[in-house]
Amino acid sequence: MAERILVLAEQLEGQLTDVTLELIGVARRLAAPRGSTVDALVLGEGVSALAATVPADRTLLMEHPALRLFNPEAAQRALEAVARETSPWLVLVPNTSLGMDVAAAVATRLGWPLVAYCQAIEERDGQLVATSQLFGGKILADCPVGTDHAVISVLAGAFSSEAAAPEPPARIERLAPPAELDGLRVRAVGLERPEAADVDITRAEKIVAVGRGIESKENLELAEELAEGLGAVVAASRPLVDAGWLPRSRQVGKSGLKVKPRLYLALGISGAPEHLEGMRDAELIIAVNTDPKAPIFDVAHYGVVADLFEVAEALQERLGG
Amino acid sequence: MTLAVILKQVPDVVEELAIDPSGTDLDRDSVSYVVNEFDEHALEEALLLREATGEDVVVVGVDTTGELDQALYTALAKGAQRAVKLVGDVEGSWLSTRALAGLLAPVIRELSPRLVLTGVQAPDDLDGQLAPTLGALLDWPHTGVVVGTELADGLVRVRKELWGGIMLDLELATPAVLGIQAARATPRYVPVGRVRQAMRESTIEEVEVETPVESAPKLSRLRAPEAAGRAEMLTGSPSDVVERILEILRARGLY
Ligand SMILES: Cc1cc2nc3c(=O)[nH]c(=O)nc-3n(C[C@H](O)[C@H](O)[C@H](O)COP(=O)(O)OP(=O)(O)OC[C@H]3O[C@@H](n4cnc5c(N)ncnc54)[C@H](O)[C@@H]3O)c2cc1C
């Protein structure tokens, strides 16, 4: 019996995240032919107004002080309790910083299989197949999913949010928090938002983005010059920011910023799923990489298999001249 | 007390990856292995904690490649005090995260560390990340995407990265399991000479483990993403390519 699909809704400070709607959209698509209903679990404190906007068949609302800010232990206990109670055949969790703490832990505790990093869920020959993106996006793994309990953690941005019906939920059901929420070993202390940046890459029309292929901090100068010539700003993949070569405000991707410029020129970026999450919607993507199999070419409109320094220098010559 | 760091060797994704004839694993003979990048950060974070608190650092790994010694000696050369290698009938296999966590859990319990640190994720984590899986098996508090840690009495303060630069500060009672995204400093480099010295002067402790019942991730097929996606490839000399790029930009009013 494939009765219920359970979606873990993600919210931060009363704001539903985009990925939640994407998950509900997928859940609806899978639910329709099976006659399943879609439950969305909203965790928080003082979030009943938000719960009323979640487009699921039924919104399960659990409120508790420990759920005010994200608390991985509280969220894990809550989802586990609800999954035991409602026995869904499928649980969808976002593969985000928050969802990652919960999906594997709950699946392990329940003994249910988990497919992580899911980027597609399709019907193939009468079988539901979840596709996981592995090895830095270079390999896809097709995993059959049965109807006797599974957990899938879904990559943000992999599905459209439009399939989530816009009408408000048929009903909101309040759930009592499990007793464990009063004896947690994890405490959420607070959130810190980033300081205002010198350059707002989310507003830039053109971006020259550099990755680890740039090799050294000194070589960033080349990117700066190119950006100047093109009227663009410089952004980067995460490792360059971790190394302190550029400020955090220039990072594109899952834990950085989401950008949608008219031009994204990617130099020496492999195109890991976490990077693609932040730039796949750019209007024009041109990628330069020495590796013809680099996943960045899967999202780029134009690709060049070449040494970025040769291309950048040739471009600089033309722009400077 | 100790800090346990779990290291895993994974296929180097910068190299060409081939799928074996079974279609359900990589061609392991042609793979070159590296320590999971995020595990390197976990080790660095543990070494930084050691500098502040004097804890011993124990590195632990399951030898699925037959080459784990190199990684463990390198960790010892970087400043770890002990290295523990789990061996058994697991060489050459792609262990699922749950199987890996199942092998590690009793060993970690025995080590009784204040903290377990490992990478936030690995390129082959089909059934999810190690930190939350191990945390669930041990029933210890856990969290991932950690970019900073500080040990205090009976707890660890961690900074967890959400998105858009937003940070969440958490306190976890110890023992706890952390999935490290980035250490507070770039993972340190160690000269080959020091690794050789570690090989001469230290020993790796071995623990024999049983083969897990269901060890491999469940999948029907591996494949490469659809024929190199949708990029139109520009070929020719760098100046040819640049001319084409400028044409494309001009056509869109971008140059
Ligand atoms: C929870 C989480 C969140 C993350 N968030 C982000 C994020 O927000 N943003 C982000 O970017 N990453 C993020 N990552 C990291 C991500 O997984 C990758 O590690 C990262 O994107 C890789 O950066 P890169 O492409 O610069 O480096 P690599 O993957 O090392 O790629 C370098 C590329 O340069 C090419 N190259 C080398 N030399 C040259 C040359 N001379 N000319 C041309 N090409 C060359 C290589 O072929 C290679 O493809 C996150 C990871 C996790 C686990």
Residue B133 to residue A194, Cβ atoms within 8 A: no
Nearest 5 degrees, angle CA A70-CA A75-CA A76? 140
Question: What is the secondary structure of A260-315 as a DSSP string?
Answer: --SEEEEES----HHHHHHHTT-S-EEEEES-TT-THHHH-SEEEES-HHHHHHHH
How far is A255 from B244, CA to CA, in rounded Å? 33
The pTM (predicted TM-score) of the whole model is 0.95
Task: Grade residue B3 by pLDDT with cuts at 50, 70 and 90.
Answer: very high
Pocket test for ligand 1, best of B10, B181, B186, B234 (most atoms within 8 A of CB): B181
The confidence score (pLDDT) of residue A168 equals 63
Per-residue confidence band for B217, with pLDDT thresholds at 50, 70 and 90: confident
CA dist A27 and A166 (Å) reads: 14
Residue-wise pLDDT tens digits, A182-232: 999 999 999 999 888 889 999 999 999 999 999 999 999 999 999 999 999
Looking only at the bridges linking them, the beta strands covering B2-6 and B167-173 are: unpaired
Q: Which residues contact A175 (CB under 8 A, 6 or more apart)?
A: A60, A61, A62, A82
C-beta separation of B119 from B179 below 8 A: yes
pLDDT at residue number B227? 58
The CATH T-level fold of domain A4-182 is Rossmann fold (3.40.50)
pLDDT (tens digit per residue) in A21-75 = 999 999 999 999 999 999 999 999 999 999 999 999 999 999 999 999 999 999 9
Of B176, B219, B230, which is closest to A143 when you measure between CB atoms?
B219
Whole-number mean pLDDT of chain A?
94
Per DSSP, what are the bridge partners of residue A144? A129
Q: CA separation (Å) from B16 to A98, A99, A150, B202?
A: 32, 31, 32, 35
Name the band, by pLDDT with cuts 50, 70 and 90, for residue A317.
very high
The H or E element that residue B48 is part of is helix B37-53
% residues pLDDT > 90 (chain B): 90
| pLDDT (tens digit per residue) in B31-78 | 999 999 999 999 999 999 999 999 999 999 999 999 999 999 999 999
| Residue B129 CB–ligand 1 contact under 6 Å | no
> What is the mean predicted confidence (pLDDT) over B82-111?
95
How far, rounded to the nearest angstrom, does the alpha carbon of residue A77 sit from its chain's CA centroid? 22
Each residue of A127-174: pLDDT tens digit?
999 999 999 999 999 999 988 899 999 999 999 887 776 666 668 999
ipTM of this complex prediction, to 2 decimal places: 0.95
Q: What integer pLDDT is reported at residue A167 of this predicted model?
A: 67
Band (pLDDT 50/70/90 cuts) for residue A7 is very high
B176 neighbors B46 (Cβ within 8 angstroms): no
pLDDT tens digits along B111-154: 999 999 999 999 999 999 999 999 999 999 999 999 999 999 99
- For residue A303 and ligand 1, the question of a CB distance below 6 A is answered with no
- What percent of chain A stands above pLDDT 90? 90
Residue A250 in tokens: 């220039």
- Rounded mean pLDDT of A287-301? 95
pLDDT at B246 exceeding the cut of 60 = yes
Give the closest of B16, B161, B235 to A255, CB-based: B161
Ligand 1 binding pocket mutation candidate from A134, A220, A246, A275 (most atoms within 8 A of CB): A275
Atom of ligand 1 nearest to the CA of B120: 53
pLDDT score at B93: 86
Burial of A321 (0-12, 13-18, 19+ CB in 10 A): exposed
- Condensed to tens digits (0 to 9), the pLDDT of residues A244-261 reads 999 999 999 999 999 999
Cα A196 to Cα A132, A199, A204: the distances in Å are 36, 9, 15
Residue B228 has pLDDT above 60, yes or no: no
The mean pLDDT of chain B is 95
Please name the residue of chain B whose CA is at the shortest distance from the CA of residue A66.
B170
Task: Supply the pLDDT for residue A51.
Answer: 93
Token pair 């140059």 is found at B255
Mean pLDDT of A168-181: 89
Q: What is the pLDDT of residue A169?
A: 64
CA distance A299 to chain B (A): 7
Q: Which domains does chain B have, with CATH numbers?
A: 2-209 (3.40.50.620)
Q: Residue B229 — very low, low, confident or very high, per pLDDT cuts 50/70/90?
A: low
Is pLDDT of B219 > 80?
Answer: yes
Q: What is the topology classification, in CATH, of domain A201-320?
A: Rossmann fold (3.40.50)
Yes or no, beta carbons of A194 and B164 under 8 Å apart: yes
Residue nearest (by alpha carbon) to ligand 1 atom 27:
A212
Q: Where in chain A is the domain with CATH 3.40.50.1220?
A: 201-320
Q: Is the pLDDT of residue B192 over 90?
A: yes
- Pick from B132, B147, B84, B72: which is nearest to B112 by CA? B84
